[in-house]
Amino acid sequence: MRLSNRLPWATESASPLLSLREERERRGEPVVSLVSTDPTSAGLDLPWGEVAAALADIEAWKRYRPDPHGAPAAREALVSFYARWGERVDAERIFVGASTSELYSWLFQTLGDPGDSVLVPEPGYPLFDEIAALAGVGTAPAPLVPRFSAKGELLRWAWEPERWSVPPKARALVVVAPHNPTGAVPTPEEWRRIGEFCARRGLCLVVDEVFRLLGPRADEPTCDWDSLGVPVAVLSGLSKWLAAPQLKLAWMRLYGPEADLRAWNDALEHAADACLNVGGPAQAALPSLLPLVDRASAALAERVARNRGIFLEVFSDLASKVRILSEPFGWYAVLALDADEERLTLDLLRETGLFVHPGFFYDFDEGALVLALVADSEGLRAGFGLLRGWLEKNYL
């Protein structure tokens, strides 16, 4: 059977690290993951009773009224939700999808033809390449630049669009803010330069705000998107905001010049109409779910902040041997060290059962270990301590 050549990973074997993890699990040997980001298994105090009550509308389960934009009541609830932050949202410029991944696929399908490309952050989450490939478009890097103090400590990751190399058939730029996995957030000046860059190059701007509620200014407008003068799609969803990836509901808001939005809106309606797979009950529940976001996101933010403190407590005094390559936002922490990261992570898993991600999974250009900050704090403290002891014995 011949498979599409858009799926190069379909015939690739699993990475040695993932293969070793599967082998250990088959043999019944322990694997302790330091990269789990599943909020449903992290012991968080989440409002599941209220969530269940919001989904208990029997009439919603009995109705089927598809709309390519999503249910009007769900979109109006989003308009009200953002209004409390002083953000203008047009209900007719909202699209509801099952996940941000699905929304990305609609965007890439409507913006690009085979041979076109989208610029994505580097380092970054590896899913973009796969979603783009399935849409028939390629990706090109938009590198973030680390800035260090005279002592070699990370100050911040900077967006410097003037330095980006743009392919001739680029169609869009993706910005994740706070960025995953570095935690970086563009400054107002960087947003302005990103907008100017997109305007000069004729690019649409796609902004992913799924980690917004773990950022520094969650309750303030991120940016005046209309002022950038380019078409902008801003993505969010319940997966991170309500710590509920199993609910499968996300949304995007469109901004920019009206002439561009009319054509883009029509194209996205076609893409959404071909799917119409967002559960009606979840959409019907959204007006009742959005008021729960503050409680859920506060629980997640508190857990991440506590675990970041534990991470710093365990590793900060190793500054002469390792560098911390992440800012205090998002839910990852990154350690950089002079080592063969693939060999290191394999040896670590083989000898201790600890599972961490090597930096090349996220396209870091130096040796790095990526750790998640969502799991139970005491278990994570023990895992970080074991990792530190093993590193000191074997690599530092």
Domains of the chain: 8-45+294-394 (3.90.1150.10), 50-291 (3.40.640.10)
Average pLDDT of the segment spanning 259-282: 91
Confidence of residue 103 (pLDDT cuts 50, 70, 90): very high
pLDDT at 13: 64
Helix axes 293-315, 377-394, angle to 10 degrees: 30
Average pLDDT of the segment spanning 336-358: 95
Compute φ and ψ for 174, nearest 5 degrees. Answer: -105, 130
Give yes or no for residue 8 having a pLDDT over 70: no
Average pLDDT of the segment spanning 174-200: 96
Average pLDDT of the segment spanning 104-120: 95
pLDDT at 55: 92
**Cα 198 from Cα 205, distance rounded (Å):** 7
Confidence of residue 4 (pLDDT cuts 50, 70, 90): confident
Q: What is the maximum span of the chain, computed from C-alpha positions, in angstroms?
A: 64
Confidence of residue 279 (pLDDT cuts 50, 70, 90): confident
pLDDT at 276: 82
Compute φ and ψ for 158, nearest 5 degrees. Answer: -110, 140
For the chain, percent of residues with pLDDT exceeding 70: 98
The larger pLDDT score, comparing residue 238 to residue 318, is at: 238
